[in-house]
Amino acid sequence: MSKRRLPPLNPLRNFEAAARCGSFTQAAAELNVTPAAVSRQVIVLENYFSKSLFIRHANIIELTADGVALLPSVSAALDMLNDGARLLSAKGDTAVNLCTYPGFIMQWLIPRMGHFRSEHPEINLNLITASKPDEFEAAHADITIKYGHEQPHGECGKAILPDIILPVCSPSLTRGPHALPPVENLAQHTLLRSRYRRLDWPSWLEIMNAQDLHAHQELTFKESGLANQAATQGLGVAMAQRLLVENELASGKLVMPFSTALRRSADIWISRSRERCADDHVTLVCDWIEKEARDTVAGFGIDFTPSTFDTAQALTLNNGK
């Protein structure tokens, strides 16, 4: 086998980052070095090839024709190194990183973790919270649970839970002069809202033909879990996701004053990263979550099939009355 004649690897890494970012400054921030250091490494590569790879302007850089020709092979080689390193580090690694919404972790996942941990003490399950798309992307998690309409591109995914919302409140609000129901009496109560789910109340009121209803007062919380907690204290009526108030409904801290619920078109999907899609530990965690999801849906008293509709649909749930 002939000996490889490779260019210096660190200058190649700096060249690729600068070309991708279009700036020595941005490349330096990514590589955690100074812009001058990036520039020096690029000069090392240019001296190696005896060719200019960038045209330097005042605040930006531009690839020369030689730089354009070199970049694809450098990018492909670095991608292959990255994939190989991740696969190697994943072998025998018992840590599984799972990213999902704070409310889902606190109110659905954590209450179910005890049994899984007792059966699989060898798996270290690291929970990461995210609320926005860029936060999910930045997490680089092995498993992601979030709302969607189809399998995320490049990942192994499936729909496991419907997103069903309906009003919940303390039992005390179902009694008295403004008892719930009927829906008109909501005008005499405080509506509890979540900042990240602003459309839940308007959507549910619309299917109840009460879109013009104006509540006595409103309280908005950053997360739905806080709104649900406020509802248990009798502070108002929360529009809750059915799967996140199982324990409160079972204990009687919350009740469903109305049997009409709303199913959103976006289901809750579980997906695996491409790199660890076939990993045994990731598979164990996913199988456990999917089983818990099936049990949850069975408790709703409905048959779940992944959404094929584009707009929210009304459905009737047993509210215990």
pLDDT over 90, % of the chain? 49
CATH number at residue 99: 3.40.190.10
Whether residue 93 is predicted with pLDDT greater than 80 in this model: the reply is no
Kindly give, in sequence order, each residue whose CB lies less than 8 Å from that of residue 230, ignoring residues fewer than 6 positions away.
192, 219, 221, 236, 238
Q: pLDDT grade, residue 128 (50/70/90)?
A: very high
Q: Which of 34-48, 76-90, 168-182, 304-318 has the lowest mean pLDDT?
A: 76-90
**CA distances in angstroms from 184 to 6, 103, 138, 187, 209, listed in the order given:** 76, 29, 44, 6, 10
Residues with Cβ within 8 Å of residue 22, at least 6 apart in sequence: 60, 61
**Residues 79 and 116 both lie in one domain:** no
Query: What total number of domains does the chain contain?
Result: 3
Check whether residue 156 and residue 179 sit in a common domain.
no
Predicted confidence at residue 151, as pLDDT, reads 58
Is 299 part of any domain? yes
Q: Which residue has the tokens 């598979």?
A: 283
Higher pLDDT, 122 or 182: 182
Gap between the Cα atoms of 79 and 97, Å rounded: 22
Domain-located, residue 321: no
Domain shared by 64 and 121, yes or no: no
Q: Give the CA dihedral 12, 13, 17, 19, nearest 10 degrees.
A: 10
Q: Are residues 118 and 232 in the same domain?
A: no
Residue 153 pLDDT greater than 60, yes or no: no
From 68, 89, 110, give the residue that closes a domain: 89
> Same domain, yes or no, for 256 and 300?
no
pLDDT given for residue 77 in this prediction: 86
Burial class (CB in 10 A: 0-12, 13-18, 19+), 71: middle
Residue 186 and residue 229 in one domain: yes
Q: Is residue 222 part of a domain?
A: yes
What tens digit of pLDDT does each residue of 207-240 get?
A: 999 989 988 899 999 888 899 999 999 999 999 9
Residue ending a domain, among 73, 89, 105, is 89
User: Model pTM greater than 0.85?
Assistant: no
**Residue that terminates a domain, selected from 89, 114, 141:** 89
Integer-rounded Cα radius of gyration of the chain = 26
Q: What strands, in cross-sheet order, belong to the sheet with 217-221?
A: 217-221, 190-194, 237-241, 164-168, 260-263, 313-316
220 domain-assigned: yes
Q: Which residues pair with 220 in a beta bridge?
A: 193
**How confident is the model at residue 317, as a pLDDT?**
81
| 152, two tokens | 């995320």
- Same domain for 149 and 290, yes or no, is yes
Band (122; pLDDT cuts 50, 70, 90)? confident
- What residue numbers bound the domain in which 19 lies? 9-89
Q: Are residues 196 and 233 in the same domain?
A: yes
Q: Are residues 43 and 102 in the same domain?
A: no
Residue 2 within any structural domain of the chain: no
* Cβ proximity of 255 and 249 under 8 Å: yes
pLDDT at position 309 is: 86
